Amino acid sequence: MSRFHNALDFVLSELDRRRESGYGDWRAAAGAIQRHGAARPRGVVPVPAAVAPGPPEPEDAQEESETTPMPKSDDADALSLFGEEPAVAAPKSRTAKTPPATAPGVYEPVTDPALSKDERLALLRVCPQRIPCTECPYGQEPHNHVVFGNGNVDAEIMFIGEAPGADEDAKGEPFVGKAGQLLNKIINVMGYQRADVYVANILKCRPDTPGQAYGNRPPRPDEMQSCRPTLFEQIDIIRPKAIVALGATAMKGLMDDESPMRDLRGRWHDFKGIPVMATYHPSYLLRNQSPAEKRKVWEDMLLVKERLGHAITEKDRGYFLTKG
């Protein structure tokens, strides 16, 4: 077995061990690599020092805020899909610093493109240059998990949300809360299983909510900037045939496009040659449960299916159409 595979096996077994023991996997694994005597995992490409900081970005106008606290609802159906966010201890506030500017799609890879997708993702996941995010002004703050993303590394569709919420932070996986349950339904109605697709977020860590005992908040532009290189490399590794950006914040993080969702959805965008469909975030649908809003998302998903060459039945075409 090559020296690389020894190192990779070590990284993976360390992750499993940490995960099983219920401990946040990333700092420990990265620390263990250092203790193991390697300056960096083999297969990880050295990156140049951070580029000069860019100008601070304006605060994002949240036309459709996605990870904001969910409203209470008495509707039984709605309650089965979403309720109040679980109470979590508010982490201490982070000190904002300006991270290095990164234009959409532009980044220095830290993993060797000659390696397999699994190897590259495993290394990216624990790469000391990216995670625990030594360049990130927020990475050192308390959260339970880095929510890296998961799914089929050969997926034809990659769904990208904005940031982990409390549920995702607790579990270490993206979209496992109420919005995630709805996303799973959308994926199923499209004809896929969740395990067929790849799901990730712009931010890999849950944004802090200082002074707030529960709920989530949308990521700030500087936080998105900081996480971009990891997401961009993830996309380059998976190379899906299509990306679905869930919500306006995801579009801002991915493409630097600040247009409102009504202007973004229903048409194709391009991310380094990969077609991108923007649609409303599942959390938006949880708050706006009218068939008309569901229909908009469904029409976007039909465009994705069509683009990927999948058959669309008459039944498919009829979902959420309002009569009259």
| Amino acid letter, residue 113 | P
d(CA 139, CA 131) in angstroms, rounded, equals: 8
Identify residues 1-30 at the interface with ligand URA (CB under 6 A). none
Cβ nearer to ligand URA, comparing 32 with 244: 244
When asked if residue 219 is in the footprint of ligand URA (CB under 6 A), the reply is no
d(CA 53, CA 115) in angstroms, rounded, equals: 31
Nearest approach, Cβ of residue 91 and ligand URA (Å): 17
d(CA 265, CA 279) in angstroms, rounded, equals: 5
Of 179, 190, 251, 286, the residue at the interface with ligand URA (CB under 6 A) is: 179
Report yes or no: 128 and 33 within 8 Å, Cβ to Cβ.
yes
When asked if residue 184 is in the footprint of ligand URA (CB under 6 A), the reply is no
Give the residue from 230, 218, 221, 223 showing the smallest Cα distance to 149: 230
Nearest approach, Cβ of residue 260 and ligand URA (Å): 17
Nearest approach, Cβ of residue 227 and ligand URA (Å): 12
Cβ nearer to ligand URA, comparing 42 with 143: 143
Determine the Cα angle at 157 with ends 156 and 163, to 5°: 145
d(CA 207, CA 227) in angstroms, rounded, equals: 12
When asked if residue 201 is in the footprint of ligand URA (CB under 6 A), the reply is yes
Cβ nearer to ligand URA, comparing 7 with 176: 176
d(CA 75, CA 4) in angstroms, rounded, equals: 54
When asked if residue 234 is in the footprint of ligand URA (CB under 6 A), the reply is no
When asked if residue 156 is in the footprint of ligand URA (CB under 6 A), the reply is no
When asked if residue 66 is in the footprint of ligand URA (CB under 6 A), the reply is yes
When asked if residue 208 is in the footprint of ligand URA (CB under 6 A), the reply is no
When asked if residue 67 is in the footprint of ligand URA (CB under 6 A), the reply is yes
Nearest approach, Cβ of residue 110 and ligand URA (Å): 23
When asked if residue 172 is in the footprint of ligand URA (CB under 6 A), the reply is no
DSSP string, 88-115: -PPPPPPPP-PPBP--TT-----B-TTS
Of 26, 138, 159, 175, the residue at the interface with ligand URA (CB under 6 A) is: 175
Question: How far from each other are the two terminal CA atoms of the chain, in whole angstroms?
Answer: 67
Of 139, 165, 207, 229, the residue at the interface with ligand URA (CB under 6 A) is: 165
Of 163, 227, 242, 255, the residue at the interface with ligand URA (CB under 6 A) is: 163
Q: Give the CA distances from residue 214 to residues 65, 171, 220, 223, in Å, rounded to whole numbers and listed in that order.
A: 16, 16, 18, 20
d(CA 219, CA 205) in angstroms, rounded, equals: 10
Q: Give the residue nearest to ligand URA (CB).
A: 161
d(CA 288, CA 293) in angstroms, rounded, equals: 7
Cβ nearer to ligand URA, comparing 98 with 289: 289
Q: Which residues are near ligand URA by CB under 6 A?
A: 66-67, 161-165, 168, 174-175, 177, 179-180, 201
